[in-house]
Structure 1
Amino acid sequence: MNGQKILQTQNNNEWETIGTIKKVDEGIKPGVYNIYLAKTPSDKNQYEGQIIHIDKENAIFYQQVKKDFIVHQLKATYGKPVAGKDVAIQYDGEKSTLTLIDALKNKRTLKI
């Protein structure tokens, strides 16, 4: 996508571009992210993964956890999400706490 981010929605069986075409956030790999398949989080769970998109208009943000996507509420989260960053989100009831994860600490190395 030439380093560009395009948001699309399906309308009458056709894909329609919504919003403006923007430069992709640093840290996000090029590709197609099907965030329309995002699931809502369950209480008392922790989610670790990268923040893919922040939708300020709808007060939500999307996180990729392994191959799944989770949609979180901005108003219910303590901490500021940044697109492209790896975070852990811990739920306690309807409120959640966001913590940055050091990606280098989580990488596995193989010595030869």
Structure 2
Amino acid sequence: MNGQKILQTQNNNHWETIGTIKKVDEGIKPGVYNIYLATAPVDKNQYQGQIIYIDKENSVFYQQVKKDFIVHQLKAVDGKPVAGKDVVIAYDGEKATLTLMDILKNKRILRI
């Protein structure tokens, strides 16, 4: 996608581009993200993954957790989500806490 972000929606079996075409956020790999398949978070769960898209118009943001997508409410999360960042979101009832992941902690080191 040559570094561009395009939002599309399906309308009458045709894909329509909605919004403006913008430069992709830093940290997000090129590809097609089917965020329309996103599911709501389950209470008392923890979600670890990258924030793919923030929809300020609908007050939600999308997180990729392995191969799945989770849609979170902006008002439910303490902290400010940033697209392209790896985070851990932990729910306790209706409220959630957002914590940035330290990528270096997740890397394995091979010593010879």
TM-score range, shorter chain: over 0.9
Calculate percent identity across the aligned residue pairs.
Answer: 85
- Aligned residue for 2:75, secondary structure, equals coil
Map of 2:70 onto structure 1: 70
Alignment of 1:1-112 (within 5 A): 1-111=1-111
TM-score normalised by the chain length of structure 1: 0.97
TM-score normalised by the chain length of structure 2: 0.97
Following the alignment from structure 1 to structure 2, what is the Cα–Cα distance between the partners of residues 66 and 96? Answer: 20
Superposition deviation, residue 21 in structure 1: 0.2
Superposition deviation, residue 108 in structure 1: 2.4
- Aligned residue for 1:26, secondary structure, equals coil
Superposition deviation, residue 110 in structure 1: 3.6
Structure 1: 4+ residue segments shifted above 4 A: none
Alignment coverage as a number of residue pairs: 112
Superposition deviation, residue 111 in structure 1: 4.3
Following the alignment from structure 1 to structure 2, what is the Cα–Cα distance between the partners of residues 47 and 21? Answer: 29
- Aligned residue for 2:21, secondary structure, equals strand
Distance change (3 Å), C-alpha of 1:110 and 1:95: same
Structure 1 unaligned residues grouped into runs of 5+: none
Superposition deviation, residue 103 in structure 1: 1.2
In angstroms, what is the RMSD of aligned CA positions?
Answer: 0.9
